[in-house]
Amino acid sequence: MLSSFDDFPIHQTSHPIAQTAGTDLNHYDRYFFNGYTSDTRLFFAAAFGLYPNRHVADAHFSVVVNGASVEAEQINVHASRRAPLDRSEANIVGPIQVEVLEPLHTLRVAVDAAEHGLRADLTFVRRSAPIQEPHFFHQVGQRVLMDSTRMTQFGVWEGWIEVDGEVIDLDSEKTLGSRDRSWGVRPVGEPAPTGAPVADPQFYWLWAPLNFDSFSTHFDINEMFDGKRWHETGFVALSGSSVVEPADAMRSVDYRIGWKPGTRRAEWFEIDFEPWQGEVSTIRLEPLFDLHMLGIGYGHPEWRHGAWKGELVIAGDRWSLPVSDPNAFHHIHIQSLVRATTTGGLGEHTGLGALEQLAVGRHDPTGLVGLNDGWSA
């Protein structure tokens, strides 16, 4: 079926834009954003996904307020709809909208869900060039679990967020964050039978986009249960760099993690960046508090990404922090707001960022056992 985008010279196959290159139900196209204020009182995130072969689009917005205090709370709004065939109509899901104002430079996120305690009008402006990460490809037995491309970009936020009627104005000099765009194939929607088991359930993922005064650093790894890596990323991106100016890719990255006893949450974390030339840098992360990723649909028992909810369904939920059972499956996937300090080749700097953690199943190098057992010495 033809759509308005077919009038542009952007085709990658011989078919109309609305038709994906493959028929895999797990095909997806996604936006993710996070942001945090320099005083660490506010941490927010948004996710927006299109699943053409499932005919579903969904969006989520989540805010943690008073994150480091006894009054900490995470407030979320979720929305899902039937996906339009015309991609020009695919940027709105109920009360949540993502608008590309200037590609690879400026984007707008708007939320109008006062009945669930959230409204917002936010503009993300880049402070670095976009980073294209190495391609993600992961296979379990004969089944392709992931086959996707992702780019990450650092930026500042301006605008406002309203939480339960209280408006919080955001200053671009005091509100930093990052965003990513990814597309391809990864597990989404309702779980489907997969035939004979070929491996114990396991997924180990660490992701750390960090903002400093004049640069940003990006790190991620995926590892098997024995520590063998099937994906890794290490980049340093200068602030103010042009869209075409590439970030500095590292020769190698490594890390050390100390789990908080009884959990799968980092108590402390260190990253080593080895450049192609020059001195190794070490980045020490101090986790401050967590944003639970189910607030934007990741692992949510009722709002799983790509699941069919109906023609248009909107809901909200909230919980106090810290949660009572951090090892419950839907609470394992988190982003911790972290304070970061650098030493070595990058010099001495202090910044803020996020450390995303998703550790399901056994991981021998860091001492995790079972499916979701907390770490014990």
Bigger pLDDT: 67 or 110? 110
Q: Is 243 a residue whose pLDDT tops 70? A: no
Structurally, the chain folds into a number of domains equal to 1
Q: What is the mean pLDDT of residues 317-342?
A: 97
Q: What is the pLDDT of residue 244?
A: 63
Q: Is 67 a residue whose pLDDT tops 90? A: no
pLDDT digits (tens, 9 = 90+) for 72-89: 999 999 999 999 988 888
Q: Is residue 133 part of a domain?
A: yes
pLDDT band, residue 121 (cuts 50/70/90):
very high
Q: Is residue 289 part of a domain?
A: yes
Q: Is residue 19 part of a domain?
A: no
pTM across the whole model: 0.95
Q: What is the pLDDT of residue 3?
A: 84
Q: Is residue 8 part of a domain?
A: no
* Number of residues in the chain: 377
Q: Which helix (H) or strand (E) holds 329?
A: helix 329-332
Alpha-carbon dihedral sign for residues 323, 328, 331, 336: positive
What's the CA gap between 44 and 209, in Å, rounded?
A: 14
Q: Which helix (H) or strand (E) holds 331?
A: helix 329-332
pLDDT band, residue 322 (cuts 50/70/90):
very high
Between the alpha carbon of residue 188 and those of residues 108, 135, 315, the distances in Å are: 25, 19, 19
Q: Is residue 56 part of a domain?
A: yes
Q: What is the pLDDT of residue 240?
A: 80
Q: Is residue 121 part of a domain?
A: yes
Q: What is the CATH number of the domain that holds 251?
A: 2.40.370.10
Structural domain for 93, as ranges: 28-192+199-366
Q: Which amino acid is at 338?
A: V
Q: What is the pLDDT of residue 1?
A: 80
HEC profile for 40-77? Answer: CCEEEEEEEEEEHHHCEEEEEEEEEECCCCCCCEEEEE
Phi, psi values for residue 21, rounded to 5°: -65, -30
What's the CA gap between 374 and 104, in Å, rounded?
A: 40
pLDDT band, residue 22 (cuts 50/70/90):
confident
Q: What is the pLDDT of residue 241?
A: 67
Q: Is residue 295 part of a domain?
A: yes
Q: Is 242 a residue whose pLDDT tops 70? A: no
Q: Is 218 a residue whose pLDDT tops 70? A: yes
Which is nearest to 227 in space by CA: 196, 206, 197, 249? Answer: 206
pLDDT digits (tens, 9 = 90+) for 145-193: 899 999 999 999 999 999 999 999 999 999 999 999 999 999 999 888 8
pLDDT digits (tens, 9 = 90+) for 267-305: 999 999 999 999 999 999 999 999 999 999 999 999 999
Q: What is the pLDDT of residue 279?
A: 97
Q: Is residue 37 part of a domain?
A: yes
To the nearest whole number, what is the mean pLDDT of the chain? 95
